[in-house]
Structure 1
């Protein structure tokens, strides 16, 4: 089973113009609620009866919080957890990975050129590589980010995949798309939304989305509730089912569509977005 977990955490230390949660601050009470929710989820995973992979997809930045670092490290040591990964901006120092089993831990990192000095971000990537941490790095395909993305691609450690996410609402000309594809050969999958209405998807069957209260949905983008994680009611709803949405334009969604070859492209690295041909 693959689980995408998104608790109530919404605060972030960055101020990206394309993100609605930029520089948002959670109150101490909100942070306590998020911590309790995460610890409850971690405990459930620890006692799960099946093999589990987990991707944390917080609205905010999780790794600046001790409870996320601890959860990732602890889950990585469980024999039935195949992979545990998180989406992060790498603002937290990676020394916490010393406590993790690096054969199971992975990071999905995003570089925001207008939020962090280039040298600092590149140094973080090099340190992760030196520590043996498995990770991918990505950039949002804004025109003003192209030069920075090219520089990063040229200077990243060999074998580290640099992915490009199409900017939300942006239409790319063939020339623009070709420029991004020179950096990320798989950019074509992100360039346009994928028709999904009525098409098969692994979400709701072998892949589920869980929020801080344990509410289970097939994915982050379909509001229908399948049940609750903690009372086990979700299990009776697990089955193959067609997608109810017209299109899917987010990698963590369309990667699970069997009509696309992405389980082959990212074999062994689905959660952290590392292609099978990349050794990072």
Structure 2
């Protein structure tokens, strides 16, 4: 059995102050950070004892890599012989020397560029350092209308092999994007429409709860971040009895880390082992002539 684990601990602090994020500039006190580190270490120890192939995606509410315990966890997990992939969502704000200790065949980064928080050239400089190290990574942005030119500039600045994925702006009013803007965004991210206008989910076949699970700091297991049904606990092994084929109980799933696991959508085939870090199997982007001449 291959099991993909979406781990979200109690960390919620972030060094960025994005207006669209409810956790911008939140603060975790020392006790919260201590408990988060202990719980993460317990999870890593569980992964080390596992005897089946694993993939792990860290999806912290805040920025994990500013905390040493997340960097150390990434390194330890990357070295496990049965670990296929370990990835984390990050704003890429930290130094990169810690990556020199990791097995880069297993590690990947899901990076997000926030143009109101960091200079584009500085962010691209960090991406170039990742390329020199041979790190697998994707880059993403929230597709706000005021950032359309910046989105295209970021796409032009990234190497062709690096995907630029786009999330639709969550707080958008009806008609927020024009048809022309949707086309413009879809030229950069061919999967943008799945995020903008997700297909109905109720009854759709899904891998979550079968070979994909969500785990919190206490080891409580649910099928995914968006379904509250408890399957058991990771550490006493009770979750395993609850793993089975399931259909989605939600009317809609509009987050990549949810709908990417649907069996009726093309992501498993198109992304393969790059599913968790949001890297498709084939990525060689070139700016269309119409966009280049804008």
Structure 1 counterpart of 2:232: 227
Structure 2 counterpart of 1:29: 31
Task: Extract structure 1 runs of 4+ deviating beyond 4 A.
Answer: none
2: CA distance, partners of 1:182 / 1:256 = 23
Q: Does the CA contact (< 8 Å) of 1:194 and 1:254 recur in 2?
A: no
Q: Does the CA contact (< 8 Å) of 1:129 and 1:157 recur in 2?
A: no
Give the 5 Å matches for 1:136-215: 136-170=138-172, 171-215=176-220
1: CA distance, partners of 2:224 / 2:68 = 26
2:114 is the alignment partner of 1:109: no
CA displacement, residues 51-108 of structure 1 (integer Å, 9 cap, x when unaligned)? 1000000000000000100100111010000000000000011111000000000000
2: CA distance, partners of 1:73 / 1:46 = 12
Give the 5 Å matches for 1:236-247: 236-247=241-252
2: CA distance, partners of 1:224 / 1:137 = 32
What TM-score do the two structures reach when normalised by structure 2? 0.93
Task: Measure how far apart 1:252 and its partner are.
Answer: 0.5
2:90 is the alignment partner of 1:88: yes
Q: Does the CA contact (< 8 Å) of 2:145 and 2:177 recur in 1?
A: no
Q: Does the CA contact (< 8 Å) of 2:160 and 2:283 recur in 1?
A: no
From 252, 257, 263, the counterpart of 1:252: 257
**SS state of the match for residue 55, structure 1?**
strand
Q: Does the CA contact (< 8 Å) of 1:172 and 1:191 recur in 2?
A: no
CA RMSD of aligned residues (A): 1.2
2: CA distance, partners of 1:22 / 1:146 = 22
2: CA distance, partners of 1:144 / 1:125 = 23
Gaps of 5+ in 1: none
Task: Measure how far apart 1:181 and its partner are.
Answer: 1.1
1: CA distance, partners of 2:66 / 2:284 = 27
Structure 2 counterpart of 1:3: 5
Aligned residues: 280
2: CA distance, partners of 1:122 / 1:43 = 35
Task: Measure how far apart 1:269 and its partner are.
Answer: 0.3
2:60 is the alignment partner of 1:58: yes
Task: Measure how far apart 1:265 and its partner are.
Answer: 1.4
Gaps of 5+ in 2: 286-294
Task: Measure how far apart 1:194 and its partner are.
Answer: 2.5
1: CA distance, partners of 2:104 / 2:284 = 14
What TM-score do the two structures reach when normalised by structure 1? 0.98
**SS state of the match for residue 150, structure 1?**
helix
- Once the two structures are overlaid, the 10-residue window that deviates more, 266-275 or 164-173, is 164-173
CA displacement, residues 177-197 of structure 1 (integer Å, 9 cap, x when unaligned)? 111112212212211122111
Q: Does the CA contact (< 8 Å) of 2:201 and 2:250 recur in 1?
A: yes
Q: Does the CA contact (< 8 Å) of 2:104 and 2:135 recur in 1?
A: yes
**SS state of the match for residue 224, structure 1?**
strand
Task: Measure how far apart 1:279 and its partner are.
Answer: 7.6
Task: Measure how far apart 1:49 and its partner are.
Answer: 2.0
2: CA distance, partners of 1:255 / 1:245 = 15
